[in-house]
Amino acid sequence: MFTRRNALGAGATLATIRPGRAQTSPVLRIGILGDQSGVYRDQGGAGSQACVRQAVAEYASQNGLTVEVVAADHQNRPDVGLALARQWFDQGVDVVTDIQGSAIALAINSLVRERDKVMLPCNVGISDITGRACSPNTVHWAYDTQMLTRVAAAAMLRQGGDSWFVIRADYAFGRTLFDEVSAMVTKGGGRVVGSVATPFPNTDFSSAILQAQASRAKVVALALSGDDMVNAVKQAAEFGLTRRGQKLAALLTFINNIDALGLPAAQGLGVASSFYWDLNDRTRAFSRRVLQSGFNPNLRPNMSQAGTYSAVTHYMKAVKSLGVAEAKRSGRAVVERMKAMPVEDDVLGQATIRADGRVVSNAYLFEVKSPAESSGQWDYYKLLATVSPEDAWRPLNEGGCPMITG
């Protein structure tokens, strides 16, 4: 049964699911923290909430768990995100997911470890979460900057794109993505001929695009996300960047971004992703279920939103195995149990969780279809390559995670 009330922080909403039989275990509390109103709202927001609630609805009532779900807007501000997480933990929240924003995730990561809670970031790019900042209380889902560069940059290099100019967001995610794409390009025999950092958020990329054109780089890479990425692609089209022979690579692209751009502007973009709603029978089945139970029917789940379903489902499986009382006592114990169990769901198929907290699954390289190739709205991707977990994600011994030895 669902009930709703205001709770646990300004603007938060809470839903409770109770099993059909008599309740004997404590209440498990899940917090969804993300951008509800800013430039990243469509990457997570209401879509992530719908996916989490779908996971809870499917699993909790069938397994005797009482689960409360709370959601709040961190406004893309680390201080607000940290304050909300601290308040939630004081009031009994056991796990926080979605997150959105690398600086926010890094701040909460320390708090989660201190409080012995659990963090499941599904909307965070920075790979330090499972590298230098790895934690026994954190599991990183969906994507990171390493996967994006390994899948997308390698493909561009194979196509002859050996000179790069990078337009990046001037915060932790953009800086990390720039560093990692530079390393990948250099390792692959190419070179980065220039870069420019842009304010976040930003609506005017004209100066950056003119610098990219003047560089004569074969590939102009966008280390941006959300509305910033959409605005940059649109303005690059207005400046005729690709008509002059340069290729445009949007390193982090969600399907909702492609819908916002439209196929005429987005066609030909390479997209690295761990999920596509129309990839196979299982991803289509998941998408049908969530669209029928609260997800905006005019949209489709992206990899971060679908990742919250996968993460929360696996978390609840570990809690069921461990016992709710023990799970609430120690987030570290829950994460240890999660790592010991294979991930299996309709979003990722089969995946594993490494010792550093990185979920490793197949990743995919897609190309955005032209209007003539698409059968209609949301038929946007054609599959170019399936990349194995071993090739898609940073090797375990290269991340600098202090929990890993040898």
**One-character DSSP codes across 287-326:** HHHHHTTTS-TTS---HHHHHHHHHHHHHHHHHHHH-HHH
Residue 8 clears pLDDT 50, i.e. is over it: no
Helix, strand, coil percent content, the chain, rounded in steps of 5? 40, 20, 40
Q: 315 and 62 in contact (C-beta within 8 Å)?
A: no
User: What per-residue confidence (pLDDT) applies to 406?
Assistant: 56
pTM recorded for the entire structure: 0.90
Domain range 4-143+279-361, CATH class? alpha beta
Residue 221, helix vs strand vs coil: strand
Q: What is the mean pLDDT of the chain?
A: 91
d(CA 192, CA 182): 6
Q: Which residues, other chains included, contact 55 with Cβ-Cβ below 8 Å and sequence gap of 6+?
A: 308, 309, 310, 312, 313, 316
User: What per-residue confidence (pLDDT) applies to 4?
Assistant: 33
User: What per-residue confidence (pLDDT) applies to 21?
Assistant: 45
User: What per-residue confidence (pLDDT) applies to 155?
Assistant: 83
**10 confidence band (pLDDT: 50, 70, 90):** very low
**63 confidence band (pLDDT: 50, 70, 90):** very high
User: What per-residue confidence (pLDDT) applies to 15?
Assistant: 53
d(CA 219, CA 231): 18
**311 confidence band (pLDDT: 50, 70, 90):** very high
Mapping DSSP onto H, E and C, the string for 251-265 reads CCCCHHHHHHHCHHH
Classify residue 397 by its DSSP letter. Answer: G
In this structure, whether the domain defined by 146-276+362-389 belongs to CATH 3.90.1170.30 is answered with no
Mean pLDDT value of segment 82-98: 97
User: What per-residue confidence (pLDDT) applies to 24?
Assistant: 54
Mean pLDDT value of segment 250-260: 92
Residue 306 clears pLDDT 80, i.e. is over it: yes
Question: Can you give the C-alpha Rg of the chain in angstroms?
Answer: 20
**12 confidence band (pLDDT: 50, 70, 90):** low
Lowest mean pLDDT among 19-28, 81-90, 168-177, 183-192: 19-28
Mean pLDDT value of segment 355-370: 96
CATH 3.40.50.2300 placement within the chain: 4-143+279-361, 146-276+362-389
Closest CA to 106 of 130, 74, 72, 75: 130
Q: Which residues, other chains included, contact 256 with Cβ-Cβ below 8 Å and sequence gap of 6+?
A: 42, 43, 299, 300, 302
Q: What are phi and psi of 70, to 5 degrees?
A: -120, 145
